[in-house]
Structure 1
C-alpha cells in the first residue's frame, strides 16, 4: 500500500505550520527508509478535486467572489452520519472526543416527499424536521440554491420556482418545489417544508411568492367561527384542526400519529441529525495557478463548463479527494488548533461515499502543539531544525535562544564532519550502534526531542575523534537524514540498508 503523510497548516501561525511540515518530513523519510512507496503529497489537480466535491457533496460560496472569500465544503448527511456514529475507523480517542463535542446532534424525523414524474425510481426529497405537528398544512418545499433540483438564483433574486412538484407524504397533495436563498445547505438535507401558517420565516416567504397560508394547529382553548380564526404564524403547540381523523388531538399526540402513518407508508422514520456546519477548502485570490468556473446563480463551482473564471488557493485537505490518497496508508500531521476545523473537514471528506473508495482504516493522526516565540534573524535551516526538535510534537514549543544556538552548532558540526577527509575504514563500533538504536527507537515513538539529544551526543563524539570509523559516520548520517533531512554521502540504497541494520 502507498504511504501518504499529509501536513495541515495553521494559517494564523506560520511557525506551527513550519513545525508540522518538519514533522511530516520526518515521518515521510522514515516510511521511505522502511520501504514504503510514497503517494502524492497533495491534490495533483485541485480544480478537479473541487469539481468532484460539487458532484458528490456540497460546495458553496458568495454571490460575487472577492479576494479572501472562502469556498466552503458542505458534508452530505451520509458523511455526517458515518462520522457521528464513529463508523469510519479507529481514529485516535482524543481526536474522536473533540469531534464528538464539535458535532451537533438534533433528534427529529426524516420525511420522504416523492417527486412527481421522477426521472428514476425512488426519486424523492427527504426533509429533516424537529417539529412535524403542523405538517399537514405544509404548502411547498424549499431547497437551497445549490441543490440538485435547483437551477440557482440570478443575482439579486431570493427565490425561484424549480418547475418540479413533490407529493406530501401524509395527504398526497402536490407541493411546488422552490429555490430559496434562506435555506441553509448545512442543516438537515438542505430542503425544508414550507409551512407559513406555523413559521414566521415561511410566512414571509409565502407572502413574497404567493403561497397559500393553511393551518393544522390552533390554540388549545380556541373557539370555532370567523371571529376566532387563527392569525399566522401559530406556534407553540395547541390542538390539531382541519386534519381529518386527528382533529382535536393535542400537538404532541397529532405529531406521534403523523409519524406513525408516514412510517407505515415507508415515507418517514425517526432520525437524529448530525450537524457539522461547513468548512473552508479554498480561498479566492487575485493571482494563482488554479482557476475555476464560478456559477453565481448556484453559488458553487460549475461542473458544466459555464461561469466566470476566478482564481483560488486550495486547502491541503483536498488531497484526500484524490482516489490514490483515499487508498493510501495515510498519516495526518495537524496543529491541535485545527482539530475542529481542517482535521474534521478531512475526516468528513474521507467519509463521503460518492467521492471514491472509502478508506479501509482511519489515518494515523499526529497532533502538534503550538509554537511560541519568533524566528526573526535566523536562517531557514536553523529555524526549521529548532522548531522540529525543540520539544516533542504534542507539547507547546517555546522557542528560545539556547535552542536556536544548539541547532546552529549541530548544523555547523554536521557540515564539518562531511567535509573532513579523515576517517578510518571499518564497521560501526558497539557504542555507536547502541546509541543509534536509542535514536531510532525514540523516532519510532515520535520522541523527537529525545532523539535529537542522543544524535547530538553521537555527533559530538564523532567530531572529537581525529579519524572516526567510516561505518560510524554512515550510521550517523543515516540518522541525521531520517531526523532532519540533512544531506550526506550515503546513497539512497546505503541509507536504507543502514536504517534496517540499526
Structure 2
C-alpha cells in the first residue's frame, strides 16, 4: 500500500484562509483516493525520539516561557543549508529557489581552541578578530555537545563549566561558560567572550564577574588621561598586544586571522543558515495525562516516567511532516500555502538533518485561494472548484466563469444519472491516467468535455467506470 502525508495548517482567519485550508484538505483526500495512498503520520513517541537526535547534533535549544512551559527551537545545520539551497531530490527548482533566497550568510573563520588537560577542542566562529587578544572566556549554548561531557550540569541558564581553553594568540587560559544568549543556529554554537569589545559580552562579564581587558582603543596612545571605556566596537587602534600595537582595527583583524591560518589554528568559513523556528511546545502535566517524559536539564524525551517530567507536547506541523517523511517514507508529501510561505526551508532542513538526501520524497505545493463571490464554503460547486480549478502550485482565483463551468458539469451529472448502465460508453483513458498521476485539473477538463458530448448525444454511459471517476473527485452520482 502506498502512503501519503498532507501538511496542513490554518494560515490565518477569514474566508480566504478557510478556503485555502479547504483546498489543502480536499487535495489530500483526492490524492488518497486517486493514487490509493493510505494517510500516514508519526506519533508523539516517534517525534520525541527524533527531536532527541536533533538535540544530540546541537541543532535544538529550549526556552522557558512566561507561563512556565517550554519551547524547542530548531535551526537547520550548515550542511543542510548548503545542500537544500542547491538541489533537493524530487523537489522543483521553484521551491529550492525560494529556500535559497532565505539563506543568511556571515563571513568569518572557525578557530579550534584546545581544551586544557584534554586532547579535544571547541570550535568557535568569529567574524571580527581585531580584538581577540583580549578575549577572557568562551561561551556555549546550554545544549552544546560539550555540556554533555560534564559530570554535573547545574539547572541554570548561565554557569561556569569548570573547563578552560587556550587562547592561540596569547597562550592564556580562557574559562568555558554556558550562556543563555548564545545562539545554537549561528556558527558553531560557541563564541569568544570579549567584554571590552562587545555589548552582550560586557553585560555577561558584569553579571558573572569576568575580567574586562582591552585590545583596542580609540586613541593610539593610552595613558592615565585617555583610558578606554567599554565597549570599543571594531574601531580605533590596537593596544597591549605587543606586535600589533598602534595598528588600525581593520589591519589588526587581517593580521590576526593570517597568523591563525598559518598556525593551522583557524580556517576561513562562510556560515550559511536558513532561519530556524519553534518546532515544539512542552507543557508539564499530570502523570495520567502525560504523552511523554522530558528532562529539562538534558532536553531529552523519554517513554519512562523515571526519566523526566510528565509532559504534553505540541509538535509543529513542519516537524510532524519531517518525522513522518523520515520514519515512514511516504510516497507523496503535500504542503499547503501557510507552511511553504512561512518557511519551507525549515521543513527541508529537518528532513535532511534527520534522514539525509535519501529521505526526500515527491512534494506537492498547494498555493492559496482568492475568491470574492457570494457562494460559501460547502457549496458543491465551490468545493469542486477548489480541487480542479487550477494546478496545485499556482494561486487559485475562483471566478464566475469557473463556477458556471462547474455548475454545468454538476447539471450534466444529474442528466447522466438516468443514462447509466452496463456496457455503456467508457470515459477516455486519459482521465484515469491523469487521476492516477494525482492531476485532478487535467482529469476534470478531459472528463467534462467527454461528459458534455455524452449528454448532447443522449448516450448510455458505463455506470461502474463513471461512478468510480466521480467518487475519485469526491462526488456521488445523483
TM-score, normalized by length of structure 2?
Answer: 0.80
Is the alpha carbon distance of 1:485 and 1:306 closer, same or farther for their aligned partners in structure 2, counting shifts above 3 Å? same
**Cα RMSD, aligned residues only:** 4.1
Partner of residue 460, structure 2: 468
- Among 443, 446, 450, the alignment partner of 1:451 is 443
Partner of residue 469, structure 2: 479
Residue 182 of structure 1: how far off its partner (Å): 2.0
Partner of residue 177, structure 1: 176
- 1:13-47 deviation per Cα after TM superposition (whole angstroms, max 9, x unaligned): 33212212322343454444xxxxx5763224333
- 1:217-251 deviation per Cα after TM superposition (whole angstroms, max 9, x unaligned): 223x4324333332222223233232233334332
Partner of residue 368, structure 1: 367
Residue 124 of structure 1: how far off its partner (Å): 2.7
Is the alpha carbon distance of 1:75 and 1:450 closer, same or farther for their aligned partners in structure 2, counting shifts above 3 Å? closer
Residue 194 of structure 1: how far off its partner (Å): 0.5
Residue 207 of structure 1: how far off its partner (Å): 1.6
- Please give the residue correspondences for 1:482-497 in structure 2 after superposition, counting only pairs within 5 Å: 482=472, 484-486=473-475
What SS is found at the alignment partner of 1:100?
Answer: helix
- Please give the residue correspondences for 1:319-398 in structure 2 after superposition, counting only pairs within 5 Å: 319=320, 321-322=322-323, 325=326, 328=329, 331-352=332-353, 355-359=354-358, 363-372=362-371, 379=378, 384-398=383-397
Partner of residue 23, structure 1: 27
Contact 1:152–1:297 under 8 Å retained in 2: yes
Distance in 2 separating the partners of 1:382 and 1:306:
54
The answer as to 2:134 corresponding to 1:144 is no
Residue 351 of structure 1: how far off its partner (Å): 2.2
* 311-320 or 183-192: bigger deviation: 311-320
Residue 266 of structure 1: how far off its partner (Å): 2.9
Is the alpha carbon distance of 1:143 and 1:364 closer, same or farther for their aligned partners in structure 2, counting shifts above 3 Å? same
Residue 271 of structure 1: how far off its partner (Å): 1.3
What SS is found at the alignment partner of 2:358?
Answer: coil
Residue 294 of structure 1: how far off its partner (Å): 4.5
Distance in 1 separating the partners of 2:358 and 2:327:
5
Is the alpha carbon distance of 1:310 and 1:238 closer, same or farther for their aligned partners in structure 2, counting shifts above 3 Å? same
- 1:29-84 deviation per Cα after TM superposition (whole angstroms, max 9, x unaligned): 4444xxxxx57632243333333333344334431475998543222233233334
- 1:112-137 deviation per Cα after TM superposition (whole angstroms, max 9, x unaligned): 2233344xx6x432222221111111
Distance in 1 separating the partners of 2:399 and 2:392:
17
Q: Give the gaps of 5 or more residues in structure 2.
A: none
TM-score, normalized by length of structure 1?
Answer: 0.76
Q: Give the gaps of 5 or more residues in structure 1.
A: 33-37, 489-502
Q: Number of residue pairs matched?
A: 463
- Please give the residue correspondences for 1:251-270 in structure 2 after superposition, counting only pairs within 5 Å: 251-270=249-268
Contact 1:77–1:189 under 8 Å retained in 2: no
Contact 1:110–1:129 under 8 Å retained in 2: yes
Partner of residue 101, structure 1: 101
Is the alpha carbon distance of 1:65 and 1:226 closer, same or farther for their aligned partners in structure 2, counting shifts above 3 Å? closer
Residue 107 of structure 1: how far off its partner (Å): 1.3
Is the alpha carbon distance of 1:384 and 1:52 closer, same or farther for their aligned partners in structure 2, counting shifts above 3 Å? farther
The answer as to 2:111 corresponding to 1:111 is yes
Contact 1:336–1:370 under 8 Å retained in 2: no
